[in-house]
């Protein structure tokens, strides 16, 4: 699956427009990077979003905007700041590879919607998240 995602990420260009949502392609790349930075404990969240996990999944499945934690809200100007497109793509790919390389007994942080997750659950959730956003931009 990792190689599939790396190939899809490589298909992104600065000219890609969203099929839905408000983020630019570069903001989406940084937003996806932030999820991996969170798992890798390179960033922390001060507050949780004000909706339940069930509500978040319903919104995502209907391709509606799911409220991001404040620190990951790219549209509001938060999260990893965009730099140049190639650098942002490279960082996403690097964090994705680091995520997949985590050991089974790694101490995963709690997910902001779903709470405590094991490696399998984190992988499933992160793959869903990344695929959702790549589809948002047609790749």
Alpha-carbon span 14 to 26, nearest angstrom: 7
What secondary structure letter does DSSP report for 70? G
Q: Are the beta carbons of 137 and 13 closer than 8 angstroms?
A: no
Entry pTM: 0.89
How would you write the pLDDT of the chain (139 residues) with one tens digit per residue? 889 999 999 999 999 999 988 899 999 999 999 999 999 999 988 777 778 888 888 887 887 777 888 888 888 888 889 999 999 999 999 999 999 999 989 999 998 888 899 999 999 999 999 999 999 999 9
Q: Are the beta carbons of 72 and 35 closer than 8 angstroms?
A: yes
The count of structural domains within the chain is: 1
> Which residues constitute the domain of residue 75?
2-136
Q: Which residue has the tokens 């965009």?
A: 82
What's the CATH number where 92 sits? 1.20.120
**Three-state SS at 115:** strand
Q: Which of 129, 107, 134 is nearest to 13 (CA)?
A: 134
Q: Which two tokens stand for residue 8?
A: 């899809």
């Amino acid at each position: 699956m990792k190689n599939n995602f790396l190939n899809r990420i490589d298909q992104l260009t600065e000219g890609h427009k969203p099929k839905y949502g408000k983020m630019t392609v570069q903001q989406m790349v940084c937003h996806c990077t932030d999820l991996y930075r969170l798992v890798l404990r390179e960033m922390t969240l001060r507050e949780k979003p004000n909706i339940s996990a069930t509500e978040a999944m319903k919104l995502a499945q209907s391709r509606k905007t799911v409220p991001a934690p404040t620190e990951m809200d790219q549209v509001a100007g938060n999260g990893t700041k965009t730099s140049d497109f190639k650098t942002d793509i490279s960082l996403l790919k690097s964090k994705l590879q680091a995520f997949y390389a985590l050991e089974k007994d790694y101490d995963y942080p709690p997910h902001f919607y779903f709470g405590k997750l094991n490696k399998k659950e984190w992988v499933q959730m992160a793959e869903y998240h990344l695929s959702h956003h790549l589809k948002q931009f047609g790749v």
